[in-house]
Amino acid sequence: MPLIEEGLLDDKVTDQVIARYLNPMISDGIDTLVLGCTHYPLLAPAIARSLGDSVKLVDSAQNCATAVRNLLDRQSLRAPEDRQGALRVALTDAADNFLNVARDALQLEIGEVELRALL
């Protein structure tokens, strides 16, 4: 979704695009909206504004992360809490907007970014 890649998480244009897609569903009387894309949780505040209080918003990313953690626990594969992992980032395009979104929305500090060409 270009809105996210461009860092337009809290922008009038984003609100307009969200309203364009959600208003027909809201008019049809939906009571629950499941965020089914990995990018959508970043737009959850804007989506929630568009939905109002009458529609429940379900963040599938949180449910997926919880399921993965539980699976790793059941199979004794989760790393000990005192062991820190490392984050390596590789992108296929300039990193400027990505770094801003990662810092602001994901609250990640990203060091060196590897730029890779698409095959």
- Render each residue's pLDDT in the chain as its tens digit; 119 residues: 577 777 788 889 999 999 999 999 999 999 999 998 877 888 899 999 999 898 999 988 888 889 999 999 999 999 888 988 888 888 887 767 777 777 777 777 787 888 888 87
DSSP codes, 8-23: -SS-HHHHHHHHHHHH
**What ranges do the domains of the chain cover?**
2-78, 85-119
Tell me which architecture the domain covering 2-78 has in CATH: 3-Layer(aba) Sandwich (3.40)
Q: How many CB atoms lie within 10 A of CB 35?
A: 19
pTM assigned to the model: 0.68
**Residue showing tokens 């296929």:** 92
Q: CA 20 to CA 6: how far, in whole Å?
A: 19
